[in-house]
Amino acid sequence: MTALLVVALPLLGAAVALVGGHRRRLVAPAAACVSCGAAWVCSLLVAAAHLGDAAPAVVGPYVIGTGGIPLQASLYVDQLSASMLLLATTVAVLVQIYSVAYLRGDPRYPSYAALVSIFTASMALVVVADDLFVLLVGWEAMGACSYFLISHHWELEEARAGAVKAFVMTRLGDVGLLFGIFVAGDAAGSYRITDVVQAASSGGIGRTQATAATLLLLCGIVGKSAQFPLHSWLPDAMPGPTPISALIHAATMVAAGVYLLARLLPLFMLSATTMTVLAVIAAVTMLGGALMALAADDLKRVLAWSTVSQLAYMFAALSIGGYSAGVLHLLSHGAFKALLFLAAGSVIHAVGSQRLDSMGGLRSSMPVTFATMTVGFAALAGLPPFVGFFSKDAVLGVAGEAAFHGDAQARAWLVLVVGLVVEVLTAAYATRAWLMMFFGRRRSDVARAEPHESPWFMSGPLLVLAILSTLGGVAVVRPGFLGVAPEPFHAATALVSLLAVAVGVAFSASEWWRLDGHDPSRRLGPLRPALAAELGYDRALMSAVLSPVRVAMRTVVASESDVVEPYARGVGTGASWANRFLRWLHNGDLQRYVTAIVFGAVAVAVVVGIVQ
């Protein structure tokens, strides 16, 4: 029942913030922070009860008859749900505290705080739902909240465009998700996730059905988690407030896709086709995302592309069956990516620009942000002893294990090789962004007055997340809390990946020295503008998808106005002319009526005579 509270409390807080937020200035921040904090306490209780070997808790089911397979509204909390709840509520409460300072004086703060709370509640609903349709409710509510939050600054053209793009692209995937739910529920005879997983692991679902269901579900997962080919909404969602980016990228929204895949992994494991598709998608996405992140000029876009790339890491791990590796990376990425985004927000707050080349030399003026963001970048690059090192090692370890001993070796090799290449790139872009932000000369021509450290409401959450990103490794080395067999430390892959990280760092650092404090990505040469333009993916999408649709639209409009409309119009015109004629006849002259009657009668008589 505590899990239900995690869903209900933020909703309550949202209602209070919405109703009272505009009357008193303190109501909205208090309601938002207190409700999310209470939800966090509840999820701590849940985690204390359910991490480790504890048996999962079930609430319900409340069966709703449909005439077909019934809906069974129920909650299910196991190790995965509990850890996801903890992650989501931790990030949410920190984001709420941070937003109090970040959005100080914003007239839309009450609705913003309420939407963040609803967002958190939706994510909590997704991770505790035990019915695919209950999950879908939370899933869609999150999509709607992300739309509203990305378009928070709706007076900006790009914010509106980004929000619409995010909504449309995730909805596109959700169509697949909905049909995937139908197919999976039909195959398993129940929409309960536990029943579906049970049926999948006991052989109750055929291979063909599993392939159909998982490929459809994968559409929704790819859309929600911004994987190729539905990845481009995530970087375009950056005009939203920075704390929202932290929330979307770390703990909710994009994490929901990975969560669903991890939750239904036994079903996905039935279909080698889906897993291969997933591995290829993950490989393409992680490589592409890392390259884009290396070339992007905008700090938030760097982080966004890095999220795309890191999410692909999780999918890569899951595609070779590395359940705990994928989930661990999800959790550790949640911690350090939230840290990076909140720290980026702090920098943007101080500098007044998101462009990397307008920053520089911020090391001395923003010491807390510098220290915490360094931890974040180190975790992102995978440096020991930060949390990212351990979770990436888990991923690559599983890949290495499968590549040498497993039965899906092609997939595992793909993941292993691309994963190592991406390690190099990740280290390179993390170092590049770090150097460009905090070292070198201050670009005073673009920046506002003297950059200053952010208030404690903003740097406090940074410190908490930095501690989590540093000490999280301790929890990650002992992944028994997920209730699965602990993964041993993989010495061989760890060594190779450390080497890869060193290569990446060395590349950026040496270019930085060689170019005397200029963007190291200049070394990419002619590739750089192409990458910065994101390889024209959006334009290609536009010409491949939108142009045919536009042509079809124009055809429909033309056929409507030139073919269908004249008939409709003709009826009107005909009636109008008939009306004019009849009015002319009906002029009130009785004798004319008589004349008409007489001649009409004669005409009828003549016609009848002729016909007979």
Partner 1 sequence: MPILYPLVVSSLLFATGTYVVMARRHAVLVLMGVELMLNAVNLNLVTFDAYWHDSLDSGQVLALFTIAIAAAEIGLGLAIVLLVFRSRSSINVDELRELADRDEAPTA
Name the residues that contact partner 1, by CB under 8 A.
Answer: 583, 586-591, 594-595, 598
Residue 156 or 594 with smaller CB distance to partner 1: 594
Structure tokens at 224: 């929600």
Strand partners, 72: 63
120 vs 487: CA distance, rounded Å: 31
**Coil, helix or strand for 56?**
coil
Residue 24 or 586 with smaller CB distance to partner 1: 586
Structure tokens at 366: 């923003």
Contacts of 584 (CB under 8 A, 6+ apart): none
Q: How far is the CB of 157 from partner 1 (least distance, A)?
A: 52
**Cβ pair 400, 493 in contact under 8 A:** yes
Residue 23 or 580 with smaller CB distance to partner 1: 580
**Coil, helix or strand for 501?**
helix
Structure tokens at 195: 């029943």
Q: How far is the CB of 596 from partner 1 (least distance, A)?
A: 10
Q: How far is the CB of 160 from partner 1 (least distance, A)?
A: 50
Q: How far is the CB of 114 from partner 1 (least distance, A)?
A: 59
**Cβ pair 360, 439 in contact under 8 A:** yes
139 vs 104: CA distance, rounded Å: 30
Residue 48 or 602 with smaller CB distance to partner 1: 602
77 vs 83: CA distance, rounded Å: 10
Judging by beta carbons within 10 Å of its beta carbon (0-12, 13-18, 19+), is residue 44 exposed, middle or buried? middle
**Cβ pair 364, 473 in contact under 8 A:** no
Residue 303, Ramachandran bin (φ over 0: left; ψ between -120 and 50: alpha; else beta)? alpha
Residue 559 or 595 with smaller CB distance to partner 1: 595
Residue 544 or 608 with smaller CB distance to partner 1: 608
DSSP 67: S
Q: How far is the CB of 539 from partner 1 (least distance, A)?
A: 60
What helix, strand, coil percent values describe the chain, rounded to 5? 75, 5, 20
Q: How far is the CB of 570 from partner 1 (least distance, A)?
A: 24
309 vs 227: CA distance, rounded Å: 8
Amino acid 601 reads A
Q: How far is the CB of 608 from partner 1 (least distance, A)?
A: 18
DSSP 140: H
134 vs 71: CA distance, rounded Å: 9
Residue 175 or 601 with smaller CB distance to partner 1: 601
Residue 560 or 589 with smaller CB distance to partner 1: 589
Kindly calculate the radius of gyration of the chain based on its CA atoms and give it in whole angstroms: 30
Structure tokens at 528: 């750089």
Structure tokens at 54: 């504890």
**Cβ pair 415, 399 in contact under 8 A:** yes
Q: How far is the CB of 583 from partner 1 (least distance, A)?
A: 5
Residue 107 or 588 with smaller CB distance to partner 1: 588
CA angle 329, 332, 333 (to 5 degrees): 80
Structure tokens at 251: 């703990």
**Coil, helix or strand for 72?**
strand
164 vs 171: CA distance, rounded Å: 10
Q: What sections of 21-73 are H helices per DSSP?
A: 27-50
Q: For the CA atoms of 405, 406, 410, 416, what is the dihedral angle to 10 degrees?
A: -70
337 vs 590: CA distance, rounded Å: 92
Tell me whether the omega of the peptide bond preceding residue 529 falls within 30 degrees of 0, making it cis: no
Q: How far is the CB of 595 from partner 1 (least distance, A)?
A: 5
Q: How far is the CB of 569 from partner 1 (least distance, A)?
A: 24
Q: How far is the CB of 587 from partner 1 (least distance, A)?
A: 5
Q: How far is the CB of 582 from partner 1 (least distance, A)?
A: 8
**Cβ pair 40, 89 in contact under 8 A:** yes
Structure tokens at 343: 């720290």
Residue 410 or 597 with smaller CB distance to partner 1: 597
